[in-house]
Amino acid sequence: MAEISASWLIRNANVVLEDRTVSGGVLVQDGVIRRILTDEEEVEDGEALGAVDGQGGWLLPGFIDMHVHGGFGADFMDASRESYDAITRFHASYGTTGMLATTMTASKEAIEAVLAAAEAYREGEMPYAALYGVHLEGPFISEKWPGAQNPAHITDPQPEWLKRWAESRPGLIRQVTLAPEKNGAKETIAWLAEHGIVAACGHTDALYADIVSAADAGLTQAVHTYNAMRGLHHREPGTLGAVLTEERIYAELIADGMHVHPAAIRLLLAAKKTDKVILITDAMAAAGMPDGDYELGGLAVVVKGGEARLREGNALAGSCLTMIGAVRFMLEHTELGIVDVSRLASGNAARQLGLFGRTGSIAGGKQADLVLTDAQFNVKQTWVNGRSVYASDSQGEMM
């Protein structure tokens, strides 16, 4: 990791702000964005001790990935600092500055091991992308829509588990994915909402009315929209119909061209607009690795042509996507410009997590979580709290 001075400047870049882009740069002091500079503005003597030349590329707010299982051969279920370093370093090289460690449907003991490891990781030095907390994807999901989750560990919501985990590790659990139609789900959703934890529907067979009722209780997010959920029917709109039409629900999106067709992405954007869609990777350990045999949640996975599928059943098993890959896909396959796509990759997740006051956009007073790309949106450098956590001198992406 490159060390930089406490006061420094990124110049000669196209800076992506919340509502526009400006040609200029950003002044950072002690890890905080102090000023947005246009090309015409000058930095006073002594204001900046170092400078980074953006070479006419793009300067974006760092990406926030609310749903990621692993990368570069490691999985958050490994519950080790070595694996967490590998995952956060890999995704930082593709512009991610913050993420949630996402679990799989697993035994109570395996989930508790992840909680312990994630807490220990957050208490120590986090040298790469920041771990904001944990996203529990299951085990409170539907047996009808397991996807790549291990059905052996699926159970009804267990609020006592959640309460004990939250009491023993305050603030660590940031999102819980469950099936709202299951016994005890509505009460669990209400408890999650009361305690500031994002309640998300996913791997669910819920009817339209179930999702609306869940939103009344505090449900605010849908996991990997279109995938592993009851689809749309004109007489029973189902989970998908409720997600598309319920304004209180953010919709996660895996924009890799494998999980969701570009036309379905455009439909989602038409229904939800750009303030209610969140780009995620759902990346597994194979992200950044060669094709071959891998494992996800104890299940055998085969990766071919960058597509991950279960060996038995052939269901999609997470992805090999990176956040910058999702950004490029959206720019290529939708009519959105970089300002809107940046909102999907950073700002919306920051708002959901209650972090927008300090990150998720480039603005004075926010921490310098930044990613610099070239003109083709290849990541050149990533900063977390103003500290460089990845830098590349090549034109391509690090693998």
Q: What confidence tens digit (pLDDT) does each residue in 225-278 have? A: 999 999 999 999 999 999 999 999 999 999 999 999 999 999 999 999 999 999
The verdict on pTM exceeding 0.75 is yes
Position 397 pLDDT exceeds 50: no
54-80: pLDDT as tens digits: 999 999 999 999 999 999 999 999 999
Instruction: Output the pLDDT for position 2.
Output: 47
Q: Which tens digits make up the pLDDT trace of 119-169?
A: 999 999 999 999 999 999 999 999 999 999 999 999 999 999 999 999 999
Q: What domains can you pick out in the chain, each with its CATH number?
A: 7-60+361-391 (2.30.40.10), 62-352 (3.20.20.140)
- What pLDDT is attached to residue 49? 66
Mean pLDDT over 180-206 rounds to: 98
User: Residue 318, annotated ligand binder?
Assistant: yes
Q: How many of the other CB atoms lie within 10 Å of CB of 19?
A: 9
- Top pLDDT among 361 and 394 is at 361
328 is in an annotated binding site: no
235 is in an annotated binding site: yes
Question: Does residue 399 carry a pLDDT above 70?
Answer: no
Do the annotations mark residue 227 as ligand-binding? yes
- Active site positions, annotated: 282
Dihedral in degrees, nearest 10, Cα atoms 193, 198, 199, 201? 160
C-alpha distances in Å from residue 287, one per residue of 228, 244, 259, 305 = 21, 29, 15, 12
Q: What is the pLDDT of residue 43?
A: 64
Please report, for the chain, how many H helices and E strands are present, in that order: 10, 21
pLDDT at 47 (0 to 100): 55
**8 A C-beta contact, residue 380 and residue 373:** yes
Residue whose tokens read 């119909």 = 241
pLDDT at 218 over 80: yes
Match 């045999």 to its residue by tokens. 293
Q: Is 148 annotated as a binding residue?
A: yes
Percent of the chain at pLDDT > 70 equals 95
pLDDT of residue 295: 87
Q: Within 13 Å and on the Cβ side, how many CA atoms surround 98?
A: 26
Task: Tell me how far apart the alpha carbons of residues 389 and 384 are, in angstroms, rounded to a whole number.
Answer: 7
